[in-house]
Structure 1
C-alpha cells in the first residue's frame, strides 16, 4: 500500500496497527522523537519540465540532473529504512488513492484543470478524458503536468485558447516542488494539517496531499487540524519544539494572519498550549523557519549564526476563561523578545543548546544557503544532513550529535534539505 517497510533493529511498529479503522501509529508531537514513518516524494518527470525559461517561476535555482537527484533521494530513503523508518512514497499513495476512489479522481482533476485559463470547452474536454485515464497515468499527469502538444485529442479549430498557445505551453502545470513534502502538510499530535501554500507554483500541491489523506485506506479516520485555510502557512515554517509548544516562522511564505489562525486553531483543538511566532526575513535564503533553525536533540538546535542573537518571537498562549473552557478569544500575547530564551521557557527547560552553522561568517552564509540548518532528526541526537556542509556537520558531531550524511547536490537545487524533503507521519511519544 504505497509503503516500503524498512527492516532494522530500532523497534519499528508493525505496518498495520489499527483500531476502529484508524492507524493508531500515526501522530507526531516533537521534532526529535524516534521517527517511525515518513512521507517522501521521489523526484520524477515533473523535474524534467524545468527549463531555463521557467525554473525561476517554478522556484528552482537551477536545472537539476534528474537521474542524479533520484540517486540522491534513493540514498536518503535508504538511510531512513536502515534506521527502521517506514518510507511511504507520495506517487505510490496518489496512484493507489486514484485507483480506489472516484471522489479522489474528481478532486484531483478539478484541481488540475483550470477553466478560467483553458476556457470551458477545452477544460470540459480535458476533464472528460482524464476521468477515463488509468490511475498510474492520471497520477503522472497530476504531478508532471501536460503540454498542449501532449493533448490526447485532435486540435479543435474553434478553440482560441489552443490556437494562441505554443505546443510546449502547459495545459496542466507541473509540480516540481512536490519533492518537498514538508510544506503541504504536517502532523501535530494525532491530526494532520493541510496547509495553504503561498506561491502560485505550489498551490495545487495541497489538492493532491488533501485527497491522499482523505481517501487513501491508510489514512481512513484521521482527523484534521487547522482547516481554516484563510491565510498562507507552510509546513517548513512549523517546528514542534516540544509537546504542546509550536514555533511558526513568518516571512516569505507564512503570513502573520496564517500564524495567528493556526495558533487559535491549535488552541481550540487542545493540540498546543503555546505558539511562538518568529519573524524571519522575506527572502529566498530564509524562505522558511527551518532554513535557519532545526532541532537536533530535545534541548538543542542547529542555527544560522548570523541570526542567533537577532531572532525574536511573539509568544501566544492559550488561556482558560472563567468557565474553564478555551474560547476563541482566550489567548494572551507578549513580545517580541529573544527567541532562544522564549523557546526554552515555553519548553520548560533552562536553556536551549545552540550549535552554530559554520565556523566563520562566510562559511556560515554558504552552508546556510546549502541547507546546513535543515536537518531531519531520526531520534534525539541523531540527524540526517547534507554531506556538503562539512563545517556545520563537524560542529554537530563535536556537540555529540550523530550525523548521517547524504548527498544533495541535485536535491538542493530547489533550496531544501532533509527536513524539507520529508513529512514525518509517526514518531514515538516523548
Structure 2
C-alpha cells in the first residue's frame, strides 16, 4: 500500500523535511533571443552548468536531512493510468491554445506514444513544429507547444499553507500550464490522492496569485504580497477559505508592494531567516501599506484593517518580538542593487537561522554571518540568470513545528 503524504507548512523557518524541486531541462535550451520577454527571461542560462548547480542545490538539501522530490517524477507517476493520462493530455493541449483540431490530434498522438516520464519532459521542454511534421518557416514561432523555462521556480505554481495548498492562477499566460502538474499530482498520485489536502485557491479562478507572494510567518500569521503578480481578490478569497476551514492562522497580512518586475514577488523583497531576522531589499524600507485580514466567525465575514508603518514595526507587531532587518548588500547603493539583481534577499531557511543563498551575493552573505546566521552558499552563475533565488527554486511540503 502506498504511503500517504501530508502537507504541513506552518512557518518559513521550521526544520525542512520534504521539498519539491524541478531539475532544469531542455526547456532552458528552447529559449531564443527574440522570444525571451514572452517567456519572462532576460538571458539564456547554459543548461549543462545550470543542471550541475541545481544538482548541487539538491545535494545540499539532502546533506541537511531534507527529502528531495521532483515535480516531473511525481507528475509522470500520477498519469500512469491510461484514463488519467488522456485527460491530462487533453488539458495540456487545450491550454496550449492550438486552434486546428487536426494538429491538436497529431500532437496528442505524438505525446501519447511516449513513456510517461519522457512525455512529461517533452511537455515541459516545449514541442517544435518540426517534431510533429509541420514546417518551420523562418518567420514563424517554431513551437506548437511553448516551453516552460520558469518551472524550476517551483515556488510559484502552488504554495503549501498549513495542511493545504493554493493551486495558483498565474498572472502570465505563459506560466499557466505549470500548475497542471501540481493539479494531477495532488489529485491522482498514489501518495497524495487520499491525503485530504484542501485547496485554498484553485487554478481556474480568474484572479491571479503566485507562490512567491505567499509567506508563512508562524502558525498564526500569513503574509501575502499584493504585487504585480498577485491580486487583492485572490488574497481575500484565499484568506476566507483558510479561515473557514478553521486552520490555526488568525491573520493574513496583505502587503502592498510596487507593481513592477524589480519587486516581482514578496519574497523578492524580503524573506524570513530566523525567529527574529529577515533579509530585506532596501527599496521596500519606507512606509508600507498593509491590510490585516481577520475573520469574524459569528457573522461569517472577513474584517480588514489598513495600516501604514515601517516594515520593521509591522513585523515586530505581528510576530510579537523585536525584529532585525538585514539589508541586501548592507544597504550600499551599488552593492545592494547588484546583489538584489541576483536575488540577495531571496533566502531559503532550512531551519531557524540556517539558510541557503547564492554565493555570488557574498557581501550579503558576510553580513548574515555577522548576525549569527549559518549560511550555506551555492554556485549560481547560470541558475541566477532566471531571476530567482533559492526560495524561488523550492516548494516546501513538510516542515517541523517551530518552538
CA distance 1:352–1:105, shift in 2 (3 Å): farther
1:76 corresponds, among 57, 60, 63, to 57
- 1:170-199 deviation digits (Å, cap 9, x = unpaired): 111110101000001111111122111100
Alignment RMSD, CA only?
Answer: 2.1
Deviates more, 1:120-129 or 1:203-212: 120-129
The answer as to 2:160 corresponding to 1:187 is yes
Aligned match of 1:358 in 329, 339, 356? 329
Give 1:74 deviation, angstroms.
0.7
Unaligned runs of 5+ in 1: 1-15, 156-161
Tell me the equivalent position of 1:13. Answer: none
User: Is residue 182–residue 420 contact of structure 1 (8 Å, CA) maintained in 2?
Assistant: yes
Q: Distance in 2 between matches of 1:104 and 1:312?
A: 46
Match of 2:11 among 8, 30, 33: 30
Following TM superposition, by how much is the alpha carbon of 1:105 offset from its aligned partner in structure 2, in angstroms?
A: 4.1
Alignment match of 1:314 (pick from 291, 312, 316): 291
Superposition map of 1:18-417 within 5 A: 18=3, 22-24=4-6, 26-100=7-81, 102-114=83-95, 116-151=97-132, 154=133, 169-222=142-195, 223-228=197-202, 229-271=205-247, 272-321=249-298, 327=300, 329-347=301-319, 349-359=320-330, 360-417=332-389
Query: Which position in structure 2 is the counterpart of 1:159?
Result: none
**1:381 Cα shift?**
0.3
Take 2:163 and 2:2, find their aligned partners in 1: how far apart are those partners?
Answer: 14
- Tell me if the contact between 1:315 and 1:336 (Cα under 8 Å) persists in the aligned partners: no
Are residues 396 and 217 of structure 1, via their aligned partners in 2, closer, same or farther at CA, if it must alter by over 3 Å? Answer: same
The alignment's TM-score, normalised by the length of structure 2, stands at: 0.93
Q: In 1, Cα distance between the equivalents of 2:136 and 2:2? A: 54
- Asked whether the 8 Å contact 1:195–1:235 carries over to 2, the reply is yes
Structure 1 residues 75-84 or 190-199, which shifts more?
A: 190-199
TM-score normalised by length of structure 1? 0.87
Describe the SS at the equivalent of 1:391.
helix
Cα distance in 1, alignment partners of residues 69 and 342 from structure 2 = 26
Displacement after TM superposition at 1:389 (Å): 0.5
Q: Report deviation, 1:104.
A: 4.2
Does structure 2 retain, via aligned residues, the 8 Å contact 1:112–1:142?
Answer: no
Question: 1:163, CA displacement in angstroms?
Answer: 8.9
Aligned to 1:11: none
CA offset at residue 113 of structure 1?
4.2
CA drift at 1:137: 2.3
Q: CA deviation at 1:17?
A: 9.7
Deviation at 1:277, TM superposition (A): 0.7
Deviation, structure 1 residue 354: 1.0
* Secondary structure of 1:277's aligned partner: strand
C-alpha contact 1:108 1:207 (8 A) present in aligned 2 = no
Q: In 2, distance between residues paired with 1:376 and 1:314? A: 25
Q: 1:289 to 1:115 in 2, by over 3 A?
A: closer
How far the C-alpha of 1:308 sits from its partner, in A, is: 2.2
Q: Whole-Å Cα distance in 2 between the matches of residues 116 and 177 of structure 1?
A: 19
State the Cα distance separating 1:370 from its structure 2 match.
0.8
Describe the superposition over 1:371-390 as per-residue Cα deviations: whole angstroms up to 9, x where unpaired: 00000000000000000111
Give 1:345 deviation, angstroms.
2.2
CA distance in 1, matches of 2:231, 2:89: 27
Maintained 8 Å contact 2:153/2:392? yes
| CA deviation string 1:207-259 (max 9, x = no partner) | 11211221111212231232353310000001101112111111211112222
Cα pair 1:101 1:215 within 8 Å, conserved = no
Q: Is the 8 A contact 2:20 2:70 kept in 1?
A: yes
Q: Which runs of 5+ in 2 are unaligned?
A: none
Q: Tell me how far 1:131 sits from its aligned partner.
A: 3.1
Q: Distance in 2 between matches of 1:351 and 1:55?
A: 43
Counterpart CA distance in 2 for 1:122 and 1:112 is: 10
Q: What is the CA-CA distance between 1:284 and the residue it aligns to?
A: 1.6
Q: Given the superposition, is the C-alpha separation of residues 310 and 144 from structure 1 closer, same or farther in structure 2, using an over 3 Å criterion? A: same
